[in-house]
Amino acid sequence: MAQRIKVLITVKAYPTLSERYRETVCVAGVRMDTGQPSHVRLFPVPFRDLDAAKQFKKYDVVEVDVSAHAGDNRPESLRPRLDTLEVVDHLGSNDGWRLRSEWVAPLIVPSLCEIKRRQAENGTSLGVFRPAQVTGFKLERSQDRSAGLEAMASQINMFDPERKKLEDLPYKFMYSFTCDDGECRGHNMGLIDWEVGAAYLSWRRRYTADELPEMLRKKWFEEICGPGKDPHFFVGNVHQRPKTFMLLGAYYPPAGALARGIQTGLF
């Protein structure tokens, strides 16, 4: 049975191809229609096939009809009826990201290690946490897309010649960090946010092959995780490998803004 929900979009991953869903995007956010903020995953979302008016941005607020997802048993997953989707608002970054943090701050947990423990206990598959220290960001060569998926990408494009073919990213964008947790041995995890993939595709025309990794590192390490920011990560697990988590996106309000908001009771 369908229900209408209201969601603050916090995650939009780089599109992927699969035999079952063809081209789709993992979208996650915070439910705003419940008594307390809660994580939600909307899947599948063939984002590039949506009408322009429905192509939401991060921190847009959307309303959409959803139903239980028979093919995805993760507790936060819902199947959206995309013909009902409406973008109704956008929460900006003014006042130290205050409007965004009113919804995100209540969901922050101490560490990725804690999120993984919760996954083992109750199936938790989404979370947001603050790393104790981000120690690095680098590009690692990824496996090429399989021949079957490459043929699928070409076939999808064949039926819509004006559509730009989905490019396979040749690199994984890897963060290294530690948690504020006595059991933490450190983490090295890939970031699948659409923004970093789009930056790679755009910036490779602007920078040389030697310059590009350094420019990406400056943006996602020195700027986003630098001293002027308070970096947090949104994470989600892999449906078929629930113990495996990926970095879905970064949340980086100005340094100190979250702490001030929590101390004053704003969040």
Strand bridging mode 60-68 / 22-31: unpaired
For the record, the structure tokens of 239 come out as 């449906």
pLDDT in the model for residue 170 = 92
Closest by Cα among 200, 258, 251 to 225: 251
CB 31 within 8 A of CB 7: yes
pLDDT tens digits, 162-211: 567 788 899 999 999 999 999 999 999 999 999 999 999 999 999 999 99
Alpha carbons 223 and 217: distance in angstroms, whole number? 9
Confidence check: pLDDT of 264 > 80? no
pLDDT in the model for residue 149 = 43
pLDDT tens digits, 208-261: 999 999 999 999 999 999 999 999 999 999 988 999 999 999 999 999 888 887
CA 132 to chain centre: 20
Domain ranges of the chain: 3-94, 108-263
Question: Which of 5-19, 82-96, 144-158, 248-262 has the least mean pLDDT?
Answer: 144-158
Closest by Cα among 90, 141, 132 to 113: 132
142 or 157, which is more confident? 142
CB 223 within 8 A of CB 126: no
Question: Which of 77-91, 144-158, 252-266 has the least mean pLDDT?
Answer: 144-158
Q: Which CATH architecture has domain 3-94?
A: Beta Barrel (2.40)
Q: 126-160: buried (b, 16+ CB within 10 Å) or exposed (e) per residue?
A: bbbbbbeebeebbbeeeeebeeebeebbeebeeee
Alpha carbons 127 and 123: distance in angstroms, whole number? 12
Confidence check: pLDDT of 82 > 90? yes
CB 38 within 8 A of CB 31: yes
pLDDT in the model for residue 159 = 47
pTM of the predicted protein model: 0.92
Question: Which of 69-83, 114-128, 252-266 has the least mean pLDDT?
Answer: 252-266
Cα distances (angstroms) measured from residue 163 to each of 51, 122, 150, 235, 267: 13, 41, 15, 30, 42
